Structure 1
Amino acid sequence: MASIDFSAEIPQLRSTLSSIEQVTDIDALDAKIADLEKQASAQDLWDDVDNAQKVSSALSHAQSERRRISELDSRIEDLEVMVQLAAEEDDADTLEEAENELVSIHKTLDELEVRTLLSGEYDERDAVITIRAGAGGVDAADFAEMLMRMYLRWAERHGYATKVMDTSHAEEAGLKSVTFEVSAPFAYGTLSVEGGTHRLVRISPFDNQGRRQTSFAAVEVIPLIESTDSIEIPENDLKVDVFRSSGPGGQSVNTTDSAVRMTHLPTGTVVSMQDEKSQIQNRAAALRVMQSRLLLLKKAEEAAERKELAGDVKASWGDQMRSYVLNPYQMVKDLRTDYQEGNPSSVFDGEIDEFIDAGIRWRAEQGKSDS
């Protein structure tokens, strides 16, 4: 096997890191960290718990991003020293260690490079994901639940906080729909490429004749709005219904009418919330998600970019963006990027970073070709 040309690889690593530093704007990042540190040291910080948590989280993420770049610079220097030592002492073990480190640095640089492609207006925001069962009956409802677990496992692998906001269980198995929040830096920009129709092909566990079944689920990803966003909704434009929260099979899990269904009458947009303990909390959560959806709708109408921002997801034939095939062969393939994996089990267990990265790069290329 041909040996690695470190004399070419190391300068390339430095060039890539330099490009990332320019796009990231290190000076601006350092200024942001200094400002957040000043806010975090204020004596009255925890008088407003929500704001304190937001500041602490933002500081932690900014410091982490800065640290990753600084550590990469050090790792490239250490790699160069390692290669020199291996050459001087003709040490095969050190050379192998250097080769492994080169692969690791490339991977980390790739991850940071993808992050630099997230420059949309709302990319830095937390994400709200809604999954709806589409065509395919009970298999589609089961598929919707499988996708929910996939995204929650992905978030868990990365240490991201999640919160299930609303769940509508199907009668036999699975979910009619579910809405949950992912709190992480650039959660919306990262996960927005997952929006669209997902297709599952398998031997149905619900068919007593063991026939192959195709089912669909729609994934919608929207950014969570912040208090600074200007979306005012007149009370007369909202219809609010209250009902009792329920679990699988319609079993009541609440003895009071605490769940909320909010309808925006001019657009027909509907949001349901039943996760919180009280009607007031559910109403506030529903209003926040409603504002997020209407904000996107407003921006889409202004820029004629509705499909790009939220998408018109039909969850049926001819509209799918990714296929999960469990029979007659095993494969998950993204139909936009052509990226595929041969182990659906690992994908459903949350190993979807490669799909997401490929999607972000594909979207960036689409943007270039459209400009």
Structure 2
Amino acid sequence: MFVNPDVAADLKDLSTTLSSVEAVMDLDGLRTEIAELEKQAESPSLWDDVEHAQTVTSKLSHKQSELRRVSDLRQRLDDLEVLYELAEEEADAGSASEADDERARLRKDIASMEVRTLLSGEYDDRDALVTLRAEAGGVDAADFAEMLLRMYLRWAERHGYKTDVYDTSYAEEAGLKSATFRVTAPFAYGTLSVEQGTHRLVRISPFDNQGRRQTSFAGVEVVPVVEQADHVEIDEKDLRIDVYRSSGPGGQGVNTTDSAVRITHLPTGIVVSCQNERSQLQNRATAMGVLQAKLLERQRQEERAKLDALRGDGGSSWGNQMRSYVLHPYQMVKDLRTDFEVGNPTAVLDGDIDGFLESGIRWRRQSES
């Protein structure tokens, strides 16, 4: 029994929260699913169908990671109780301080895992396709779009998530007109979908020789990656397909063949492109996957709009502006929906966005309930 009742109460609260996470995740069911996937993975004929094999092995890896993550949290909590007991028995201030630090880390990690259980949407567990676009603000907006691309890629790198940049369209002076990339990770779409909307940057423009303050905007679009089970019909007659040479910053060519592919879906006006592969055939296949994902998301948005109209949901005077990055006259990044804010834009733009993601996921769940 702990001498410190506050510590005992906090550990009990952490255990209760973790128990609710374990219940939602259904650990027995998760173990059964892992056993079934392991059985499939051991089949000699698994790799006869490469795409199916990749799906099985990827899903197995993700499920094993989820089980290991929550099991590690429970073990850490058990170890922490022992550490506190030893610290109190031996009146060891150093061990008590070490236990306090671990308790703070554990609280953060359990809260992060709790947020994961809120991702229960139809496509939340899928990989994400993210498209960034420079909006109002000229060269500053293009530079801001490139800053956001780096922010998301650094976030993925911090977590060990695989990313593939499919297309980058460079602006003439600096930055990007647009970019599309894929994040391959458990619940990548559910996590990153709260980033969708308009991001706003306020700073002293490095491109203004008079050093004036500039406000610029960049748009973020997030859609789930399409799977074989999804029904997305595309008529070849509705497509215009152009091929061109991939280009880098300043318009310089990065290869000598017309391998980059741009596909325009004529009925909707959706344009997608891919230039990261050497083969025109590979680029076309990747671009078609992106187009299917965007059309699937368009169908979902149309269905959601009908439901919103029936519910009488109105628009917002802010439009879809969702986050401000202020570098001058003060330093702050603030989410306009959740009011979550931090005073270190440098860290945020270097990929430290988990706080924003978690507060956004909680906000969305509250808005839906």
Q: Deviations over 1:237-278 (max 9, x none)?
A: 222122222222222223222221111122111111111112
Q: Deviations over 1:111-154 (max 9, x none)?
A: 11000010011000100000000000000000000000000000
One-letter code aligned to 2:300 = K
- Determine if contact 1:297/1:306 at 8 Å carries over to the other structure: no
- Determine if contact 1:300/1:306 at 8 Å carries over to the other structure: no
Distance (whole Å) between structure 1 residues aligned to residue 303 and residue 221 of structure 2: 20
CA-CA distance at 1:7 after TM superposition: 2.3
Q: Which residue of 2 aligns with 1:82?
A: 83
- The 5-angstrom pairing of residues 1-371 of structure 1 reads 5-304=6-305, 319-368=320-369
Partner secondary structure for residue 210 of structure 1:
coil
Q: Which piece of structure 1 moves more, 253-262 or 39-48? A: 39-48
Task: Mark the CA change 1:241 to 1:42 in structure 2 (over 3 Å): closer, same or farther.
Answer: same
One-letter code aligned to 1:87 = E
CA-CA distance at 1:49 after TM superposition: 4.0
- Determine if contact 1:241/1:261 at 8 Å carries over to the other structure: yes
One-letter code aligned to 2:141 = A
Q: Deviations over 1:306-353 (max 9, x none)?
A: 99xxxxxxxx98642111111111111111111111111111110011
One-letter code aligned to 1:362 = W
5+ residue gaps, structure 2, are: 309-316
One-letter code aligned to 2:321 = Q
Distance (whole Å) between structure 2 residues aligned to residue 38 and residue 158 of structure 1: 28
Q: Which residue of 1 aligns with 2:313?
A: none
Count of paired positions: 359
Distance (whole Å) between structure 1 residues aligned to residue 104 and residue 252 of structure 2: 52
Distance (whole Å) between structure 1 residues aligned to residue 159 and residue 351 of structure 2: 10
Partner secondary structure for residue 5 of structure 1:
helix
% identical aligned pairs: 65
Distance (whole Å) between structure 2 residues aligned to residue 220 and residue 279 of structure 1: 25
One-letter code aligned to 1:118 = L
CA-CA distance at 1:18 after TM superposition: 1.2
Task: Mark the CA change 1:305 to 1:324 in structure 2 (over 3 Å): closer, same or farther.
Answer: farther
Distance (whole Å) between structure 2 residues aligned to residue 210 and residue 13 of structure 1: 50
Q: Deviations over 1:208-261 (max 9, x none)?
A: 111111100000000001112111211112221222222222222232222211
- Determine if contact 1:4/1:99 at 8 Å carries over to the other structure: no
CA-CA distance at 1:38 after TM superposition: 1.1
Distance (whole Å) between structure 1 residues aligned to residue 169 and residue 78 of structure 2: 53
Distance (whole Å) between structure 1 residues aligned to residue 306 and residue 277 of structure 2: 33
CA-CA distance at 1:43 after TM superposition: 1.9
Q: Which residue of 2 aligns with 1:313?
A: none
Q: Which piece of structure 1 moves more, 120-129 or 230-239? A: 230-239
One-letter code aligned to 1:245 = S
**Alignment TM-score, normalising by the size of structure 1:** 0.92
Partner secondary structure for residue 268 of structure 2:
coil
CA-CA distance at 1:59 after TM superposition: 1.6
Partner secondary structure for residue 304 of structure 1:
helix
Task: Mark the CA change 1:3 to 1:345 in structure 2 (over 3 Å): closer, same or farther.
Answer: farther
CA-CA distance at 1:48 after TM superposition: 4.0
CA-CA distance at 1:202 after TM superposition: 0.8
Distance (whole Å) between structure 2 residues aligned to residue 197 and residue 306 of structure 1: 23
CA-CA distance at 1:301 after TM superposition: 2.1
Partner secondary structure for residue 332 of structure 1:
strand
Q: Which residue of 1 aligns with 2:311?
A: none
Task: Mark the CA change 1:71 to 1:120 in structure 2 (over 3 Å): closer, same or farther.
Answer: same
Distance (whole Å) between structure 1 residues aligned to residue 64 and residue 121 of structure 2: 22
Distance (whole Å) between structure 1 residues aligned to residue 188 and residue 364 of structure 2: 16
CA-CA distance at 1:172 after TM superposition: 0.5
Q: Which piece of structure 1 moves more, 169-178 or 53-62? A: 53-62
Q: Deviations over 1:11-59 (max 9, x none)?
A: 2122111110111111221122112111221223334444433322322
Task: Mark the CA change 1:52 to 1:219 in structure 2 (over 3 Å): closer, same or farther.
Answer: same
Distance (whole Å) between structure 2 residues aligned to residue 305 and residue 259 of structure 1: 37
Q: Which piece of structure 1 moves more, 286-295 or 26-35? A: 26-35
